[in-house]
Structure formats: structure tokens, C-alpha cells
Structure 1
Amino acid sequence: MSTAKKSVKRVTTHVLRAMKEQGIKISMLTAYDYSMARIVDDAGIDVVLVGDSASNVIHGHETTLPITLDQMIDHASSVVRAVKRALIVVDLPFGHYQGDSKNALKSAIRIMKESGAHAIKMEGGEFIVDSVKRIVSAGIPVMGHLGLTPQSIYKFGTYTVRAKEEEEAKILLSDATKLEKAGCFAMVLEKIPRQLAREASERLYVPTIGIGAGNGCDGQVLVTHDMLGINKGFSPRFLRRYANLYDVMKGAVEHYIEDVKSGDFPKDEEAY
């Protein structure tokens, strides 16, 4: 039994802050449904992210932009029913906070009330500070997200590493500080140079969660379907595959089809 599973104490934003102070790395994975959330929570994950990556992974869209607030709430509600220990963070989807702090608060309240999740996550720097302040003032924890921000893919035009140049790196560090002061309890740093991520992690009092940002962050996050090898067409440098479930699952389905076609399934002992 893992150390994490010995305790059923709920992970909170306070717990994550204490983990950073104690040098304990934070583990975070995505989940979009009851069954997957049950597995990652039982395994002892610290944070479950109901990511807008569901737009790609579950709904088959090219980007994260099409997913709706109602869909995010539906995914989050399923995850909440499964999770007993982990902190549950839900992405605010595109179009529900950009440029309108009142709409941002309204959307965050809907997620919290209708799903039962514990926090929301927002992409962007200085331009979301007003929204962060308004949401935090309502008692809703906010996780920030800097670096590569997939909701802005059409602005950047590429998924390549962000903040490689000195000027953009300075802006990122400034934005991180502003988000922390606005009340963010943690920060995702996606696809930025490892040294920059380490510097940001050392500057900030709140935990940083890296994805493609090196080992200097206070924790790491991956998309569960990617790290389990359910998705085969996505292989960035930062992704470590811990299983190859696509082939395992495909093989099982092929075996089932063969048994049905041959009449081997069901056998007498499998019938009433």
C-alpha cells in the first residue's frame, strides 16, 4: 500500500501549500468521468484536474475552445462523485472569463454549486487579474496557468515552447507574481524553459505545477489518457508513457469479437 493511500485526509489548498514548504512534490492528473477519477484517486493522486482537454480527449475536437460550460460541469460532477481524497480543480472554459470579470465569477459559481468541485483554473496573465480577484473574493480558490495556454492557440499559432526569449520570460515572471498577489493558490507552468520554471517556483510562495517545464516545479501534471497510452497520436518530449493501454484494450476487443463470432462466448457457465 502506498503512503498516499494510508491517509484518507482530504487534500486542500492549504495542504498543497504545506507540501511546497516541506519539499514534497505534488502529483496531478486529469479525469473527466467517474471511472477514471475513481482509479486515479484510489491510486493516491493529490490533485485531479477536470481539464478543458476533455474537448480533445473525450469530444474529439482539434482544440480546447469548443467545450462548453455545461459540458465542463457535467464532467466535473461525475468526477466529484468518485473522488474521496484529491483536490478537484475544474478549468473555466474559453469564453467564460476573458475580458469580463462578472461573467467569470458567474461561471465559477456555477461550476462550484452545480458540480461540487473544490477550485477552478484559469489561463492567462495580467489580463485575468481582475477576474481572479473577484472570484477569490467570493471564496472560490483559483489556480493560475501560464506559459503555453491552449485557449490562446489561435493567437500564438503554435504549440511550441513559450518564454524562450528574455522579454517574454520577464513578462511571465511578472504575471506569476501578479496572479499570486491576486489570490491564486497555485500555478500551472506549461511548456516553458526548465530554468525559467525553476526561477518562478523559487520566487513564488504558492506551489507550481509543471507540464513540459522541467523538474524544478513543485509538482507535475499530465493528461491521464496520454500517460496511460490510450492516445497514440500525441508524443511530445515531456510525455512519459507509463502503459500502452491502446494496444491492450484493442487486443481485448479483438479477442471478444473473435469469441462472439466463433460462438465461444458465452459458454454454458456464463449463461443463466
Structure 2
Amino acid sequence: MVSKNIRPTVADIRAMKARGEKISMLYVTTEEEAAAANAAGIHMLSIEGRFFSPQMREAAGRCFVQVGLPYGGWGTFQGRPLATAEDYLRAAFHFAAMGGDCFYCAASYDIQKTLCDNHVPIVAHVGLIPSYITWTGFRAVGRTGQEALKVWQQVKQLEAIGCFGAELEVVPDKVSAFISKNTSMIMLGMGAGPGADAQYLFAEDVLGHTQGHKPRHARTYRNFAIEYERLQNERVAAFKEFIADVNSGAYPAPEHNVAIADEEFARFVNQAQAGS
């Protein structure tokens, strides 16, 4: 078992799969969410590169962190989109120095292979891939035998080039279970049923503050939307009370002011008037 004071490694996550242990995973965007995940005992976090920092890594504690490398128009690294294998490798090494444990990469097989050949733990993506939706639309992928076979073939190709794992998004549960049992990669299931190696959700869905459409696979455990609305109403009320106090003279009150002794104030006035 891994020491409670040391965060897991790739080898540890693989060992969890081999033992058939359940793996929990969350996508987070703030230090508060990362710290809460660590305190709760979440195994893995997904953090986009634009949100990742030494402070975020510290907040994540013992969580195994997947850092998302930006793809095409979905983000930039050091001011520009990643395009070449060298670009991706530079970004991966940059985030590894901050404490990233593995790296999400949705680029081409040759770019992913370059990263793997340089011993960078890569998590790819199969099934519904948001950055590729122009080819599939937002729908479940793998509901026909032919399409399920294509997903399986993609998994085997990713395995062959050395990927550590892959996000398995919105595929039928039976297909997911078959794939997870028959690959050495860690399959991070999002809407892929209980047979995936990990269960992966967005913190905003878990906490109930998703705006707009909520995915079918999402499960909400708290209603932060109500809390955010209450807090916003409280902000408005507090600001109105502040305006009222300014208008009435109730603010600032004596306790908010800096005092000056009468004799010092008199000396100041005399000198100011003498010099004017």
C-alpha cells in the first residue's frame, strides 16, 4: 500500500486496477475544490493546464493529478496553441516540474507516441471527445457493433504506442466493461458505466452549479446553485446598506477614523495657515 504521506505514482494507479479497486476522479478548476477533493480522499484529479500552478498542486495534496494539455483552439500554452510534438513535450515537462503526475493529450497518435517515448505518462481520449465533436456530434459513441469495434481499435492503438490511460466518455456500459478488462491502460469512465477502471465527474456537476445542460451521467450531491444565489442576494443587500450608511453619515463612524490629538491638530492648522 502507498504511504498516507506520499501521493500515488503511475505504478500505484496501475496496481489499483490490477487489484480491482474502485478509483474516484474529479475535474476541478479551483484550489478550494482541489483541497476539498484531497481532504475527502479522491484518488485522481483532472486539472487543465490553464488552472494548474504550484499552489494548485499543493492544494491537491495526495491526489494523483492529470494535467490537461491544451489542444488546438481549446487553449494555449505560453501564449500560443500547441501544434507540434515538441510543443507538447515542452508543455508536459513544464507541468511535470510543477508536480503533474500524468498528462491528458487529445492530439494525433504520432504526437502522443513522442510523449510516450519520452516517458511522459499520457492519458488519451476515446468515445465522445469534445474537441472532435464535429465528427460525431454530442451523442453516445459505440452503440453499434461497428462503432464499438472502432473504439476498441483506437484503444489498442493507444495501448501500442505506450499511453498510460484514456478517458472513456459516453460509451455503452457493456462496451466499457469489455475494454477495461482487456487493456492494460487505465480507463477513466465518464458516462461509461460501472465497468470502467475509474469513475470521473466534473466537480461543478457534483456540487450542483452547472449552468445550462447537465449530462445524463452527471450526479449532483449538493445544490450550490441555491447557495450562490443566496450569496449574490446577500452581496446586493450589503452593498445597498453601505450606500444607505454613506448617505446618512452612519459610515464612517468614529471607530473607523484615525484620531489626532487636539494640540497636534491646532499646531497643524496654525502652521498651515501661517504658510498660506
Once the two structures are superposed, what CA deviation does each residue of 1:188-207 show, in whole Å capped at 9, x if it has no partner?
A: 10011111111101111222
Q: TM-score, normalised by structure 2?
A: 0.78
Shift of 1:48: 0.9
Instruction: Give the Cα separation in 2 of the matches to 1:10 and 1:90.
Output: 15
Aligned positions, number: 239
Give yes or no for the alignment of 1:86 onto 2:69: no
Of 212, 230, 244, the match for 2:223: 244
Aligned-pair identity in percent equals 27
> Secondary structure in 2 aligned to 1:29?
strand
Give yes or no for the alignment of 1:119 onto 2:90: no
> Secondary structure in 1 aligned to 2:154?
helix
> Secondary structure in 1 aligned to 2:52?
helix
Give yes or no for the alignment of 1:138 onto 2:135: no
5+ residue gaps, structure 2 = 73-80, 246-254, 257-276
5+ residue gaps, structure 1 = 52-71, 266-270
**Structure showing greater Rg:** 2
> Secondary structure in 1 aligned to 2:126?
strand
Aligned residues of 1:8 and 1:84 also touching (Cα < 8 A): no
Shift of 1:230: 1.3
Instruction: Give the Cα separation in 1 of the matches to 2:95 and 2:182.
Output: 31
Aligned residues of 1:148 and 1:190 also touching (Cα < 8 A): yes
| Residue aligning to 1:255 | 234
Aligned residues of 2:124 and 2:166 also touching (Cα < 8 A): yes
CA 1:129–1:260 in 2, change beyond 3 Å: closer, same or farther? closer
| Residue aligning to 1:25 | 22
> Secondary structure in 1 aligned to 2:185?
coil
Instruction: Give the Cα separation in 2 of the matches to 1:180 and 1:161.
Output: 22
Aligned residues of 2:71 and 2:106 also touching (Cα < 8 A): no
| 1:157-236 mapped onto 2 (5 Å cutoff) | 158-236=137-215
Give yes or no for the alignment of 1:152 onto 2:132: yes
Shift of 1:260: 4.7
- Of the structure 1 ranges 74-83 and 256-265, higher mean CA displacement relative to structure 2 is found in 256-265
Shift of 1:259: 4.5
Shift of 1:256: 4.2
| Residue aligning to 1:105 | 89
Q: TM-score, normalised by structure 1?
A: 0.79
| Residue aligning to 2:52 | 76
Once the two structures are superposed, what CA deviation does each residue of 1:114-167 show, in whole Å capped at 9, x if it has no partner?
A: x4312111236xxx33222211222211112110010112233x2111122222
After superposing on structure 2, the runs of 4+ consecutive aligned residues of structure 1 that deviate more than 4 Å are 262-265
CA 1:97–1:25 in 2, change beyond 3 Å: closer, same or farther? farther
Aligned residues of 2:71 and 2:105 also touching (Cα < 8 A): no
- Of the structure 1 ranges 131-140 and 21-30, higher mean CA displacement relative to structure 2 is found in 131-140
1 or 2 for the larger relative contact order (CA 8 Å, sep ≥6)?
1
Shift of 1:258: 2.6
